[in-house]
Amino acid sequence: MRVLVFLILNAVLVSPVAAQAPLELVSKVESGWTSNATEAEGGAPDFYLRQNHDLSIRGTLGPLALRAGVIVDHKALRHLSGENDLAVTGGLEAGLDLKQGVALRLGYALTQEWTGEMLDLGPFMLTINSPATRHEALAEVVATGSGRAVIMGVDIVRRQPGLSEFSGLPIAPLVIEPEVTEVTARVDGEWAMTPGVTGLARLHWVIVGVPEADRLDFGREPASIARLAGGLRLRQGGVTATSHAGVELVWPQDAPHLVRAVPYFDAKAEWAVTELINLEAMGSAGVEVFNPIDGVASHEMEGDLGMRLALSETVGLSLGAAASLERGLYDESIVTEKRSVRSGLSWMVSPSLEAGLEARYAKFAELGQRYPVSTIALTLGGRV
């Protein structure tokens, strides 16, 4: 199955904090039917309920702008309860103006995950319940002035899996995933070239750490990345676009002579064609080293195209298609692929409440399996 991964920390703390509501709750509930609840070849259909709640509070303490929040994400199936997932996140962000044009931002978040997975072994179903703890921290300095901005930061992500329990086989609880730590040092810059064009530059250094015992037990070889890219941000008429292009150098830490140069690309665009039609597109290509499919590093490519049509002031129709491909960088025989289409109808019941109907269809190819997944869902989202 595919596990939802939370992004807990918002890298940019919105200022000024006092201008926003001090307490905010954003919720979304989705209930529907899926043709393949286990997302595996021969998976059974089931009904499901998914809910996400994000409670945040903002305020100030002297010169500090603070934001604290709790996120709860839960998925429950009617019959295949062994596939139920739960993630609870708590986080704190702080912003401090050091002087005019220079700000310091700090953040930390802790996520506790409980993930369920069901495997069809023929005569019986094996259920695996796996807990994990995820730590995320960031520290960055933002300097702005004279049409320029420089962001220098460090991000740390650490995932610690717990003991997985097996229902259906006499197996003692054990850890089935490696512990992984990723540290990213980054410098991003931008400068105004014309009123509608901004130049962009990016320099990132990524280091992954895996305990020695986990390297042997799970076949993990940590790798490092050096990323160098440049780009543009365009704002003209109804078009907004941002893109970076460059190169990533990646190498296994214990075998630096196996360095690879991989093209890097990250872009997104939005076009307000008319007052009723809006188009969006995104695409990316790069290297994954935190959770690669070949145990060292993998090359990921993905693209998405979407359209929204306003049928009235409160009703909108959305259509979209997406594709993604991940291939092992040092073992190219390992490939996962996904292609999907989607459509949806949304209704703004009130300024703070939206209801919708969604239909999705996806085809997966991974680890020798090929299977489709169809989903029909009713959604309800709002904020207070």
pLDDT per residue over 313-339, tens digit each?
Answer: 999 999 999 999 999 999 999 999 999
Contact in structure between 345 and 5 (CB atoms under 8 Å): no
The confidence score (pLDDT) of residue 20 equals 57
pLDDT band at 6 (very low <50, low <70, confident <90, very high): very low
CA separation for the pair 327, 331 (Å, rounded): 8
Q: What pLDDT is recorded for position 10? A: 41
pLDDT tens, 109-126?
Answer: 999 999 999 988 878 889
Q: What is the pTM of this model?
A: 0.89
- Phi, psi (rounded to 5 degrees) for 4: -65, 130
Q: Give φ, ψ of 83 to 5 degrees.
A: -95, 5
Terminus-to-terminus CA distance in the chain, angstroms? 33
Instruction: Determine how many CB atoms are found less than 10 A away from the CB of residue 262.
Output: 17
Closest CA to 367 of 342, 331, 341, 339: 331
Which residues, in sequence order, are bridge partners of residue 68? 57, 92
Percent of the chain with pLDDT strictly greater than 90: 89
Burial zone of 21 (CB within 10 Å; 0-12 exposed, 13-18 middle, 19+ buried): exposed
Q: Write the CB contacts of 101 (distance below 8 Å, at least 6 apart in sequence).
A: 143, 144, 145
Q: Looking at residue 14, what is its pLDDT?
A: 36
What does the alpha-carbon distance between residue 70 and residue 58 come to, in Å, rounded to a whole number? 12
- CA–CA gap between residue 113 and residue 119 (Å, rounded): 20
Q: What is the pLDDT of residue 2?
A: 33
Backbone angles phi, psi at 258, to 5 degrees: -90, 30
Q: Label residue 75 exposed, middle or buried (CB < 10 Å: 0-12, 13-18, 19+).
A: buried
Number of alpha carbons in the 13 Å side-chain half-sphere of residue 350: 6
**How is residue 205 written in tokens?**
């250094």
Give 123-158 pLDDT, tens digit per residue: 888 999 999 999 999 999 999 998 999 999 999 999
